[in-house]
Amino acid sequence: MSFAAAAFLAGFALLALPWWLHRRDTHRPDPQVVSSLLLLRPGEAPEQMRKTLRHRWLMALRMLLFAVLVLAFAQPVLRERLVPEVGTPRVPQLIAVDTSLSMAADFAAARQRAHALIDGLPPDVPAAVVGLDGDITVAAPLGTDRQALHAAVAGLRPGNGRLAFEGLSERLTVLAGSTREPVALHLISDFQRTALPAQFNALVDGAQGPIELHPVPPAGPNWRVEGIHVDRLVTVAVRGFGTPERSLDVRLDGPSGELGRRSLTVPADGTAHASFPLPPRSDEDVWLEAVVDAGDALAVDDVGYAVVRRLDAVPMPMYVAPTAAAQAEYLRVGIAAALPRFQPAALDQSGPVAVALDPADLPAQDRQALERHLANGGAVLMTVGPATRRAARVPLLDLPLEEGARDGEPRRVVVADRTHPALAGTADWSAVAVSRYLRAAPAAGTVLLRLDDGAPLLLEHPAGAGRVLLLLTALDPAWSNLVTTAAFVTWLADAVGHLAEDTLPVTALAGETLTIPSASVQVFDASGRRM
């Protein structure tokens, strides 16, 4: 047994309180009768009292109550035996080893842990070995051949993918071939924060048996190229994980060779940025490579890639309600930073993506323009605001609304579909807090983001031949802090790129799913050779 909040065990010191209270009762000595006090010298004799424990059963009950309260706050966790004892039914053992990119720092420790688990199994208990690298790879099916299991573990190699743990337990249980009988699951991983679900229940949801987590400690401090932002400058972000403050050199390369070199100081467990001049625009896309000279255990993430797109202006028709002036300003700044090719335009212009900010009071002419846009297969990015709240309905979709949380009650954001192209970037939603939003039934739409109270926040809804991406809060700090977080620009790039069916991002992580709406695709490498 262990404790989730062991610090509360210090509360056992409170057991002294009932004991002290029950010793407050005192007993005076019995008086002694003497014949006469006339011959005694007057004086004040010291009074002696003896403290005794009284009502001992009551004291015991009170101490027991304090002990139960302390244990409740300490949250004891009972560890079940995953390996059955002799005479008990055989429980299949599923050993899942994380083979994602981050495990390359010290994959030997993961292998060693898996070998130890196999050696500890009774001979007649079946076991399987799988590798987790975005997808699930069966290295050894369920069986009792221990040599095959050891060989499967020895053959595992860390890849370039990214692992997400949400819903993983259910997928692994089904893979084991049993959805009714219990399957003991062992997860060996470094359990990166970015891969874990927002709620722990999502990690174990769907499991049919006990789960044991085997954390692999990091091999040491790690620096990585966090991202490359291409705008008027090329900005390279370098982030440290478990790192001290250190000065590092960053180099930016392009097709013609080295474009520049910068030295920057990365704070402890922090992020620093290095800026480079933008290479000349050309008629073709230009690739960039950023390299940080970190010399850490995980060298593969010391390199980052990006693409400088050719700048073809794309009109973005916009409707801005009088109540959405602040939203429009934040959106224009975000679009300029994330997708400079898209230029805000009037609704009478044609473009793949239109924007409607708080459009409850749409004039008839603007409503018809947006409806024609959707009927022709276009997409609309829509937000709500004060006008939509008063109308209690979402235009174009005709969804009923009711007011959600009030001011002063911020809600966290939970990603409902991590694989959707509109959320394909590396945006960190943990810092986003929503204090005002509107509730809507998803109807025929798909929920992409939720709040921690279960309310939908981002919906993709079909409309005519097109689709609407509906954000049920405003791009306004009075409603949420989204526009002031790093997630805003990344999300805009993903969302608008998805709606415009321009889904290939400027940067992407290996193992991500890229949805390309085409019947056929040609892939070329950096040198222009078709792959």
DSSP string, 193-262: GGGS-SSTHHHHTT-SS-EEEEE---SS-EEEEEEEEESSEEEEEEEEES---EEEEEEEEETTEEEEEE
Q: What is the pLDDT of residue 86?
A: 39
In angstroms, the CA 378 to CA 370 distance is 9
- pTM (2 decimals)? 0.48
Residue range 363-405, pLDDT digits in tens: 888 888 898 888 888 899 999 999 888 888 888 888 888 755 4
Burial 367-387 (b: 16+ CB within 10 A, else e): bebbbebbeeebbbbbbbbbb
Task: List beta partners, residue 306.
Answer: 288
Strand order in the sheet with 271-277: 222-230, 233-241, 271-277
pLDDT at 348 over 50: yes
Q: What average pLDDT does the segment 419-448 reach? A: 79
Tokens found for residue 217: 């400690």
Strand order in the sheet with 257-266: 257-266, 246-254, 286-292, 303-308
Q: What average pLDDT does the segment 222-238 reach? A: 85
Q: What is the pLDDT of residue 203?
A: 61
Burial of residue 232 (number of CB atoms within 10 Å: 0-12, 13-18, 19+): exposed
Q: What is the pLDDT of residue 129?
A: 92
First to last CA, the chain: 54
Smallest CA-to-CA distance from 394 within 366, 368, 361, 372 is with: 361
In angstroms, the CA 476 to CA 492 distance is 15
Q: What average pLDDT does the segment 506-511 reach? A: 61
Question: How far from 302 is each of 151, 279, 290, 295, 449, CA to CA, in Å?
Answer: 31, 22, 8, 9, 31
pLDDT at 31 over 90: no
**3-state percent helix, strand, coil for the chain, nearest multiple of 5:** 25, 30, 45
- pLDDT tier at 261, thresholds 50, 70, 90: very high
Tokens found for residue 20: 């002290």
Smallest CA-to-CA distance from 182 within 170, 173, 190 is with: 173
pLDDT at 357 over 90: yes
Q: What is the pLDDT of residue 495?
A: 87
Q: Name the most confidently modeled range: 51-60, 400-409, 462-471.
A: 462-471
DSSP 297: S
Q: What average pLDDT does the segment 122-149 reach? A: 86
More confident residue, 339 or 95: 95
Residue range 266-292, pLDDT digits in tens: 999 889 999 998 887 666 778 889 999
Q: What average pLDDT does the segment 160-183 reach? A: 66
More confident residue, 281 or 145: 145
Tally DSSP H helices, then E strands, for the chain.
10, 28
More confident residue, 348 or 316: 316
More confident residue, 299 or 192: 299
Whether the CB-CB separation of 347 and 366 falls below 8 Å is answered with yes
Q: What is the pLDDT of residue 47?
A: 54
Q: What is the pLDDT of residue 403?
A: 58
Q: What average pLDDT does the segment 108-129 reach? A: 90
Q: Name the most confidently modeled range: 43-52, 262-271, 483-492.
A: 262-271
pLDDT at 243 over 90: no
- Chain-wide mean pLDDT for the chain? 80
Smallest CA-to-CA distance from 59 within 96, 16, 95, 3 is with: 16
Q: What is the pLDDT of residue 97?
A: 92
pLDDT at 53 over 80: no
In angstroms, the CA 281 to CA 234 distance is 13
pLDDT at 406 over 60: no
- pLDDT tier at 311, thresholds 50, 70, 90: low
Share of the chain above pLDDT 70, in %: 76
- pLDDT tier at 173, thresholds 50, 70, 90: low
Q: What is the pLDDT of residue 89?
A: 52
Q: What is the pLDDT of residue 94?
A: 87
Q: What is the pLDDT of residue 262?
A: 92
Mean pLDDT is lowest, of 248-257, 351-360, 493-502, for 493-502
More confident residue, 247 or 13: 247
